[in-house]
Amino acid sequence: MERVSNYEITKRRVQGEFLKYDQEKMIQKFNLDFDENYLYIKFIGHLYRIDRKTGYLEWSEDGFVTCTEGDFNEALTIYDLLCDSKENCQAAGDYINLKSLSALQASSKKLGDGLSDGKGKIFDHKDALLSRVCEKLGGIKAGKGDVAYEIPMFDFVSCRIQFWNSDEDFDASLQVFMDKNILQFMRYETVWYAESHLIKRLTEEFEHAEETDN
């Protein structure tokens, strides 16, 4: 019998928990598109839908002619946002490094430490291509760095990336900043799921663009 991972078990559990929450409240709170069967939400360049009867989460790039199930990071981020965000959550429009966010937590846990370490190598000295990818994800130029963009995480709250190319003294560096009010939208632990998914999206879109150009 195939072994089910703890990630999959957790995702299915939270999928079931989603059904206990007021979906009409979610729709109004985040101005979600919806129909009789699904709720719809955009997350880092993909459109997702959640089955209103089962909680099943999937995304599509072709109007849901073909669909892909959301993975652990996608699912936990979206479920947490919709179910457990603060009542009057609102983006600040100012951004904070996630290491600084960690320092603000009472917990001694350093979740996500090193998550983006080494992730910049793939983008090194390919500024034009990385900029194109950021813009495909809805990004606008903002911040400091060789490449720096503000990218919509959801329609109502964004994040920011700052990338520096390598030189004779330093390796390539990718830094992620979240809205200063991000903890109004999701739990501290969930922020790291969101960051992990952002890096994944940047990487997969970058690799696809490189293949297309070649």
Mean pLDDT on 178-186: 95
More confident residue, 195 or 100: 195
The secondary element (H helix, E strand) that includes residue 173 is strand 173-179
Q: Do the beta carbons of residue 116 and residue 174 sit within 8 Å?
A: yes
Instruction: Tell me the residue range of the domain where 120 lies.
Output: 95-213
* Residue 108 sits in the same domain as residue 71: no
Predicted local confidence at residue 101, as pLDDT: 75
Predicted local confidence at residue 63, as pLDDT: 96
Predicted local confidence at residue 100, as pLDDT: 75
* Residue 173 sits in the same domain as residue 208: yes
In 3D space, the residue among 105, 16, 113, 15 whose CA is nearest the CA of residue 69 turns out to be 15
| Model pTM score | 0.92
Predicted local confidence at residue 212, as pLDDT: 86
* Residue 72 sits in the same domain as residue 161: no
Q: Is the residue at 1 inside a domain?
A: no
pLDDT at 115 over 80: no
Q: How far apart are the first and last CA of the chain?
A: 42
